[in-house]
Structure 1
Amino acid sequence: MIQISTSPGQLWEVDYRAADSIDLNGEPFAWDIADLGQGRFHVLHEGRSYNAEVVEADYTTKSIVLKINGQRVELAAKDRFDLLLERLGMSNAAVAKVNELKAPMPGLIVDIRVEIGQEVLKGDALLVLEAMKMENILKAPADGTVATIKVVLRDNVQKGQVLVQFA
Structure 2
Amino acid sequence: MLQISTGPGQLWEVDYRAADTVTLNGEPFAWDLVDLGEGRFHVLHEGRSYNAEVVAADFATKSIVFKINGQRVELNAKDRFDLLLERLGMSDATAAKVNELKAPMPGLIVDIRVAPGQAVHKGDPLLVLEAMKMENILKAPADGTVGSIKVNLRDNVQKGQVLVQFS
Q: What TM-score do you get using the length of structure 1 for normalisation?
A: 0.88
Which amino acid letter does the alignment assign opposite residue 123 of structure 1?
Answer: G
**Aligned match of 1:62:** 62
- What CA distance in whole angstroms lies between the structure 1 residues aligned with 2:161 and 2:11? 33
**Aligned match of 1:35:** 35
**Aligned match of 2:132:** 132
Compute the displacement of 1:163 (Å). 1.6
Say whether residues 1:102 and 2:102 are aligned partners: yes
Say whether residues 1:111 and 2:115 are aligned partners: no
**Aligned match of 2:162:** 162
**Aligned match of 2:13:** 13
- What CA distance in whole angstroms lies between the structure 2 residues aligned with 1:156 and 1:86? 36
Compute the displacement of 1:99 (Å). 2.5
**Aligned match of 2:51:** 51
**Aligned match of 1:80:** 80
Which amino acid letter does the alignment assign opposite residue 155 of structure 1?
Answer: D
- What CA distance in whole angstroms lies between the structure 1 residues aligned with 2:99 and 2:17? 33
Identity of aligned residues (%): 85
- What CA distance in whole angstroms lies between the structure 1 residues aligned with 2:79 and 2:136? 20
SS at match of 1:147: strand
Q: What TM-score do you get using the length of structure 2 for normalisation?
A: 0.88
SS at match of 1:91: coil
- What CA distance in whole angstroms lies between the structure 2 residues aligned with 1:105 and 1:18? 25
Compute the displacement of 1:12 (Å). 1.2
Q: What stretches of structure 1 of length at least 5 have no aligned partner?
A: none
SS at match of 2:92: helix
Query: CA deviation digits over 1:138-162, x for unaligned, max 9?
Result: 1112221111222223333233332
- What CA distance in whole angstroms lies between the structure 2 residues aligned with 1:15 and 1:104? 25
Compute the displacement of 1:8 (Å). 4.2
Stretch moving more, 150-159 or 45-54? 150-159
- Would the alpha carbon gap of residues 79 and 158 (structure 1) be closer, same or farther in structure 2, given more than 3 Å must change? farther
**Aligned match of 1:23:** 23
Say whether residues 1:123 and 2:129 are aligned partners: no
CA RMSD of aligned residues (A): 1.8
Which amino acid letter does the alignment assign opposite residue 47 of structure 1?
Answer: G
